Amino acid sequence: MKKAYLLAALFVALSCAPKTSVLSPDGRTRVLFSIQEGVPFWAVEVDGRKVVDPSPVGLAAFGASLEEGYTLVGSKLSRHDETWSQPWGENKQIRDRHNALTLKLKNASGVAMSLEFRAFDDGITFRSSYDAPGDSLLVSDELTEFRFSEDALSWSIPGDFNSYEHLYRKMPLSALRDANTPLTIRREDGLHLSVHEAALMDFPEMVLRKKEGTAFKADLAPRHYGDSVKAIVPSSFRTPWRTLQISPDAVGLVNSSVILNLNEPCALEDVSWIKPMKYIGVWWAMHLGIASWGGDRWHGATTQEAIRYIDFAAQNNIQGVLFEGWNDAWKGSDALPDFDFTSPAPDFDVEAVVEYAREKGVCFITHNETGGNVARFEQQLERSLDWAEGLGIHALKTGYAGGGLRGGVPRHSQQGVQHFQRVAQAAAAHKVMIDGHEVIKPTGIRRTWPNFMTRECVRGMEYNGWSTGNPPSHHEILPYTRALGGPVDYTPGVFDVQYRNIQGLEQVRSWGRPGTECRVNTTLCKQIANWVVLYSPLQMACDLISNYEGHPAFQFFRDFDPDCDESRALSGEVGEYIAVVRRAADKYFYGATTDDSARDIVQSLDFLRRGTVYEAVIYADAPDASWQDNPYAYQIIHCTVTCEDTLPVHLAPGGGQAIVFSPQ
Ligand code: CA
């Protein structure tokens, strides 16, 4: 009797003990919470293996005690399983299945902290909410750490608060000093990890800096260079999510929807005007140095060029044309004056061009280059969006060229993040889609503001125009790093990869280094495959249209549908290769690319619909193709296949392959 009573008491005590860990739905990943000397800690295990050792989580603020002295006052476990849909995306249907652990903490200074962990099958995440005395807080530091349990290989760009336009470094965590996110990691046991953040709103960006060994500390972009204030927030606020994607293989990171699942649902009632599209533009001629943004006799965006590009778009199943440099006051290619985004250049009849585009069923994509002058852009934002909407313009490419935002403000600061939010929201009110260049990294806010279609935040194609260019492996690193955050406007599709067709043309600009050693470091077929691999709902064919006219391989882009319904990364290794398939309605688009090494994939077609016979049109590197010596050699092969078949996919060094599958 006494024994039974004791057992019952023990059971009650155990079931009332606060929950301090949470398992993923598949039971493989565990997040563990603890308090050590008043500071909250997190840790992660996968299949019982240590992945992240106990690491502090927290913030510091001037004049407030946010960082320590906490006791646990309550905890709660919950489950979530929901499938939601979005108007566009790699996948239009997304399942959000996770288990959550929410902890309530309090300290003696009257600060209440709530810490929420979520464990998904493909990653874990946490964020904290604070409720402190007073009206507002000056955040001085983020104390959160990532103490990786063992050394591992990593791929990242530097922790730069102004630019993501860097080449990736591959190095052991133990040798890494700092990194922006996504920071992708491969352990010796094959486990792949990627650190990023989700729902970055009203807060500065987080990068990681080495603490010691394989331990990194979060670092927030300051409000001004050298400023010790990182963020000004209300005294009741919450941080963005800190995320760790986890997968047994590299492609599992690509197929994860953790980042989108952590963002707020769509804030717009009517999304019918938001549509993926293909586009072309006069932009590449500027980077090749054979045309200018304006203000001289080499101006690229003239009325005459506009008509030529619109005609080409209309004839080739391309929905948009970007007119970079259409507006007045450009001074060649060297100076960025403070523009007005409603005044056209003297040789660009904007109203006539928009009207001509409308008649041809082509979307006019306007361009606002701010040069980082955010204050001036915001002053005219409403007026210029009004003007655009009045003319029926529904797409805008923004640019913030230069070192950072004006006034000593880092581009990735809290003010920068809030500016890019304001632009997306103002544009939505005028039914304008945004393609942001030199903006904040993607963290999934496209779920909330689906008119923020795509962004650059990458060392893109432009670098090939005037530098030694991007190395072949760049395109096999991006899907596993930068693109984990969201769509990338890399602008693939250069067919004249060695610039043979512009030899002898006059070079018009003084910057960069136009010359013979500039080229695109891939084969022709890799350019085609990148239209599939490097996902962007606004997907550009960036080359001069003269390089597409009459080219048999351009048929791929004519047939390509950027409005896909579902996507799957099939195979690959970080920095080595990737194979991806995307379904758009009843067609499938396949893309595979490789780094410097030739590769042969035996590709199962089990992704095709059972019972349907497909016509496959294959755009393949020729057997003797290579990016260095023979980049143009390709073949187009037609065959009939079903889901039972396999295809041999040959990729040349620096090469790629693209396939269109259409039901017969
Ligand atoms: Ca750029």
Contact predicate 603/570, CB 8 Å: yes
Please list the residues that pair with 407 across neighbouring strands. none
Q: What is the pLDDT of residues 79-132, one digit of tens each?
A: 999 999 999 999 999 999 999 999 999 999 999 999 999 999 999 999 999 999
Closest CA to 402 of 375, 382, 374: 374
Do the Cβ atoms of 255 and 569 come closer than 8 Å?
A: yes
DSSP state of 537: S
Q: Is residue 303 part of a domain?
A: yes
| Residue 512 in this model has a pLDDT that exceeds 70 | no
Q: Does residue 1 lie within any of the structural domains?
A: no
Q: Clarify whether residues 24 and 154 are in a common domain.
A: yes
Ligand 1 centroid to Cα of residue 281, in Å, is: 15
pLDDT in tens, 590-602: 999 999 999 999 9
What spacing in Å lies between the alpha carbon of 486 and ligand 1's midpoint? 17
pLDDT for 16 equals 64
**Do residue 200 and residue 312 come from a single domain?**
no
pLDDT band at 179 (very low <50, low <70, confident <90, very high): very high
Q: Are 589 and 207 in contact (CB under 8 A)?
A: no
With tokens 């997304």, the residue in question is 94
Instruction: Give the pair of three-digit tokens for residue 6.
Output: 């004791």
More confident residue, 101 or 505: 101
pLDDT of the residue at 18: 87
pLDDT band at 333 (very low <50, low <70, confident <90, very high): low
Two structure tokens written together for 552? 């048999």
Question: What pLDDT is attached to residue 1?
Answer: 43
Residue 336 belongs to a domain:
yes
**Cβ burial, residue 249 (10 Å; 0-12/13-18/19+):** middle
**What mean pLDDT do residues 147-160 have?**
98
Q: How far is the CA of 568 from the centre of ligand 1 (A)?
A: 28
Q: What percent of the chain has pLDDT over 90?
A: 92
Task: Assign 232 a pLDDT band (cuts: 50, 70, 90).
Answer: very high
pLDDT for the residue 503: 85
Domain termination residue (choose one: 226, 261, 296):
261
Sequence letter at residue 493: G
* Pairing relationship of beta strands 646-651 and 599-604 according to DSSP bridges: antiparallel
**Are 110 and 223 in the same domain?**
yes
Instruction: Write out the two tokens for 543.
Output: 């080359």
Model pLDDT for residues 375-400, shown as the tens digit of each residue:
999 999 999 999 999 999 999 999 99
**Which residues 6+ apart lie within 8 Å of 212 measured at CB?**
none
Phi/psi at 661 (5° precision): -110, 115
CA of 123 to the centre of ligand 1 (A): 31
Residue finishing a domain among 243, 261, 279: 261
Which two structure tokens, joined as six digits, stand for 350? 């904007």
- How many whole angstroms from 252 Cα to the centroid of ligand 1? 29
Q: So what's the pLDDT on residue 466?
A: 87
If you average pLDDT over residues 48-57, what whole number do you get?
98
Q: Give a yes or no: residue 148 inside a domain.
A: yes
Q: Is the residue at 4 inside a domain? A: no
Please check whether residue 497 lies inside any domain of the structure. Answer: no
- Residue 320 maps to a domain: yes
Q: Please compute, for residue 524, the number of CA atoms within 13 A of its CA located in the half-sphere on the CB side.
A: 26
Helix (H, G, I), strand (E, B) or coil at 20: coil
142 CA → ligand 1 middle, Å: 29
3-state secondary structure of 309: helix
Ligand 1 centre distance from Cα of residue 90 (Å): 23
To the nearest 10°, report the CA torsion of 286, 287, 290, 293.
Answer: 20
Q: How far apart are CA 376 and CA 389, in angstroms?
A: 20
290 and 237 in one domain? no
Distance 490 CA to ligand 1 centre (A): 9
* Domains held by the chain: number: 3
Q: How far is the CA of 444 from the centre of ligand 1 (A)?
A: 20
Q: What is the DSSP string of 96-130?
A: EEEEEEEEEEEETTS-EEEEEEEEETTEEEEEEEE
- Mark whether 207 and 297 lie in a shared domain: no
Ligand 1 centroid from CA 260, angstroms: 25
Q: Provide the pairing of β-strand 215-220 with 145-148.
A: antiparallel
**One domain for residues 387 and 487:** no
C-alpha of residue 59 to centroid of ligand 1, in Å: 32
CATH number, domain at 354?
3.20.20.70
User: Are 350 and 326 contacting, i.e. CB atoms less than 8 angstroms apart?
Assistant: yes
Q: Are residues 227 and 182 in the same domain?
A: yes
> If we measure between CA atoms, which residue out of 433, 480, 425, 432 comes closest to residue 455?
433
Alpha helices, DSSP H only, in 158-287? 250-254, 258-261, 283-287
How, if at all, do strands 215-220 and 21-23 pair?
unpaired
Token look-up 């396949």 returns: 590
Same-domain status, 473 and 397:
no
Same domain, 67 and 134: yes
Domain end among 211, 237, 261: 261
Domain that holds residue 431: 267-457
For residue 224, the tally of other CB atoms under 10 A from its CB is 13
**In the predicted model, is pLDDT for residue 483 greater than 70?**
yes
| Total residues found in the chain within this entry | 664
600 shares its domain with 524 = yes
Q: Which residues pair with 49 in a beta bridge?
A: 46
Are 657 and 533 in a shared domain?
yes
* 572-576 mean pLDDT: 98
Non-local CB neighbours of 537 within 8 Å, separated by 6+ positions: 88, 89, 276, 277, 453, 454, 487, 562, 563
Q: In this structure, what CATH number is given to the domain that contains residue 137? A: 2.70.98.10
Exposed, middle or buried: residue 112 (CB in 10 Å: 0-12, 13-18, 19+)? middle
- Give the model confidence (pLDDT) of 249-274 as tens digits: 999 999 999 999 999 999 999 999 99
Q: What is the pLDDT of the chain when averaged over all its residues?
A: 95
Contacts of 333 (CB under 8 A, 6+ apart): 286, 289, 292, 293, 508, 509, 510, 511
CA of 402 to the centre of ligand 1 (A): 9
CA atoms within 13 A on the CB side of 378: 14
Q: Mean pLDDT across the stretch 410-430?
A: 98
H helix intervals, 534-644:
555-559
Q: What is the DSSP string of 393-439?
A: --EEEEE--SSSBTTTB-TTSHHHHHHHHHHHHHHHHTT-EEEESS-
DSSP designation for 547: G
Q: Residue 239 pLDDT > 70, yes or no? A: yes
Higher per-residue confidence, 512 vs 242: 242
- 2: how many CB neighbours lie within 10 A of its CB? 6
Per-residue pLDDT tens digits for 449-473: 999 999 999 999 999 998 889 999 9
Between 350-359 and 303-315, two packed helices, what is the crossing angle to 10 degrees? 10
Answer whether residue 503 is part of any domain.
no
Distance CA 230, CA 408 (A): 14
Residue 565 sits in the same domain as residue 631: yes
- Res 338: pLDDT: 81
